[in-house]
Structure 1
Amino acid sequence: RIVSLCCVSASLFQASSLLRACILKCTLDNATLSISLSLPFSLSLLDLSPPASLSISPDRSQFFKYESVSLSCEVQGNSTGWRVVRNTSRGILSECNTDWGKPQGSSCIVSLIPSHSGVYWCESGSGEHSNAVIISVLSNQASLIVSPDTSQFFKYESVSLSCEVLGNSAGWRLKRYTVSGERSDCGGNWGKPQGSSCIVSLIPSHSGVYWCESGSGEHSNAVNITVHAGAVILESPALPVTEGDSVTLRCRYQGTLSNHTADFYKDGSLVRTETTGEMTIPAVSKSDKGLYKCTNSKGESPESWMTVTVPSPVVPVLSMSLPRLLCSLLVGSPYLLVTIILLVKCCRSRAQGDRVEEG
Structure 2
Amino acid sequence: MEFSPLAVMLLLISLIPVPHAQDRPQVVLSVSPQRWLTEGDSVTLSCEVTNSSKGWTFRWYTFVPFRLIGVIFWYRPVLLSDSSRESGDSYTISPAAFNHTGVYMCKAKRVERVYPTYDSNKELLWITGESPPVSLIINPNRTQHFSKDSLSLSCEDQSNSTGWRVIRYTHSERVLDCSEWGSVTGSTCKISFLSTSDTGVYWCESESGENSNPVN
Q: Which one has a bigger Cα radius of gyration?
A: 1
Which structure exhibits the higher relative contact order, with contacts defined as CA atoms closer than 8 Å and separated by 6 or more residues? 2
TM-score when normalising by structure 1: 0.29
